[in-house]
Amino acid sequence: MPTRIKLIDGQFSLVEDPYTHVSDDQDLPRGDLIISLTRFQNEGERLLSEGRAVGVRLEPAEEVEVLAYDLARLAVVAVAFPKFNDGRGYTAARLLRERYDFKGEIRAVGDVLREQAGFMVRVGIDAFEPADGSTPEQWAHAAHRQRHV
């Protein structure tokens, strides 16, 4: 089973990932899924009615507001960072936590680097799929290095 780094009670930990990322052209496997916003809009109701835990991958050009009425039913919002210097994911995460009071997991996916850890935690991101293979210890060190920025 794949893993991700998760912030749990202020500690960065390596945990198993129960979700399968599924692209729009793939068949849906059994189990819990992370799918695109487009696929969620087309198939989300059915998947949720099957009792699956469903997450949505939110791309930078997609607006959080589109998910507003469905957030209570989502387990994860995977915020995409296609390039490390694309900051739109930070705005999406902050809106999810502060405006929409999203209680589920906000996961950073894509070109996610530990140097961004402090900024990501500050906007409410609590799970990470690091692009650089870094460890939870490295993430903790990076997150605490930027406390006063």
Question: For residue 47, what is the domain's CATH number?
Answer: 3.20.20.70
Q: Cβ(73)–Cβ(94) under 8 Å?
A: no
Q: How many domains does the chain have?
A: 1
Per-residue pLDDT reduced to its tens digit, 106-148 = 999 998 888 888 899 999 999 998 888 888 998 888 888 755 5
The strand pairing partners of 110, in sequence order, are 81
Per-residue pLDDT reduced to its tens digit, 2-25 = 789 999 998 999 999 999 999 999
Residue 127's region, left for phi above 0, alpha for psi from -120 to 50, else beta, is: beta
This prediction has a pTM of 0.92
Q: Which residues contact 84 (CB under 8 A, 6 or more apart)?
A: 111, 112, 113, 116, 131
The residue range of the domain holding 74 is 3-145
Phi first, then psi: give them for residue 88, nearest 5 degrees: -65, -25
